[in-house]
Structure 1
Amino acid sequence: MKFRGILNDEIRHREVRLIDQNGTQVGIISKENAIERAKEAGLDLVMVAPNVRPPVCKIIDFGKYRYELQKKEKSSKKNQKIVKIKEIKMRPFVAEADYTSKINMAKRFLSDGYKVKFNIFLSGRERSINDIGKDMIGRISVDMRDAGDVEKTSGASGAMLYVIVVPKKS
């Protein structure tokens, strides 16, 4: 983000609430007086809160201020954690070996820190029998109990049911 900021003569308000270079609030003074004080200190008058009346301006070094903002933004981006979800597709009548391998794969994903979403697809007559999908979700929940916790399951039955499993908190 390239921050330009409003400083010195670009400020369009007659009066501003001034905070000096030491961080103490001077009060509401004219823009010209505030710019004069900033020039005497060899610094810039920067508008930090333009949406209030009168706007808040600080006497600071603009280059340093911009650097601090960029540093703060970078650290906030670094602290954001992106949660990745791995999806596993299944049918209600899956062979036992396939079911076991998909459960083991999901456990491996959970140990790597991913969330796992099991999608259970129902087709044709499978949709009319509600218990098939719910039984499958229950079976997955029981088998995944040691590796993770169920975060969310799908509501009413339809063509697709799902269950989201998150890693256990250690």
Structure 2
Amino acid sequence: MDQANNQNKKISKNTPFINDRIRFPKVRLIDSEGEQLGIFDTLEAKRMAKEEQLDLVLISDKSDPPVCRIIDYGKYKFSQEKKAKEARKKQQNITIKEVKMRYNIESHDYNVRLSQASRFLQSGDKVKTTITFKGREIQHVDLALDLLKRMALDLEEVAELQQSPSKEGRSVTMVLSPKK
């Protein structure tokens, strides 16, 4: 008995309500062409679907009465999967790249970090710029803030400031995002 219940639970979670699994007394029916036929008794709707050799599929159980459609379930499932795949393709993955430096960085090294950040921004990634302190260097937070402000000004053509420079423990960070 328990095994049969477990199988029913697996089926009910993964598959939508089709044909005999629809347990509502009345449903709003849409035919295979997309025209609304009206409100029917569920048994009558199942009979109509069987006559057309198609499936009765529950589209929305949130409305009153629930909406069912007479369609070929295999084609419907395929189109839903195809739409989901297209949506995943169109999603844009934005990653955060990090550029680390010290507050007393030399000008050549600063230019290297600047070009790295610019390259990251132009490829569509966000850039987190971090300046770390060791020992007593923590006294020079103002120099680090000035350096980050300078970097934001140098990159203002390709980036916009998303998170202004802020102190976090023994470091100061700033986040830049690419301009639209």
TM-score (norm 1): 0.86
Counterpart pick for 2:98 among 87, 90, 94: 87
* Aligned-residue offset at 1:55: 1.4
1:66-99 Cα distance to aligned partner (Å, 9 max, x none) = 0110110011001101012210111212222222
Aligned residues: 168
Map residues 1-170 of structure 1 onto 2, 5 A cutoff: 4-155=15-166, 158-169=169-180
Gap change, CA 1:42 and 1:157, over 3 Å in 2: closer
TM-score (norm 2): 0.82
User: Amino acid of the residue matched to residue 116 of structure 1?
Assistant: V
The share of aligned pairs that are identical, in percent, is 38
Gap change, CA 1:107 and 1:45, over 3 Å in 2: same
* Aligned-residue offset at 1:20: 1.5
Aligned-residue CA RMSD (Å) = 2.2
The structure richer in helix per residue is 2
User: Amino acid of the residue matched to residue 166 of structure 1?
Assistant: S
Unaligned runs of 5+ in 2: 1-13
Tell me how far apart the structure 2 counterparts of residues 45 and 77 of structure 1 sit (CA, whole Å): 28
Unaligned runs of 5+ in 1: none
Tell me how far apart the structure 2 counterparts of residues 59 and 154 of structure 1 sit (CA, whole Å): 58
Provide runs of 4+ in structure 1 moved above 6 Å: none
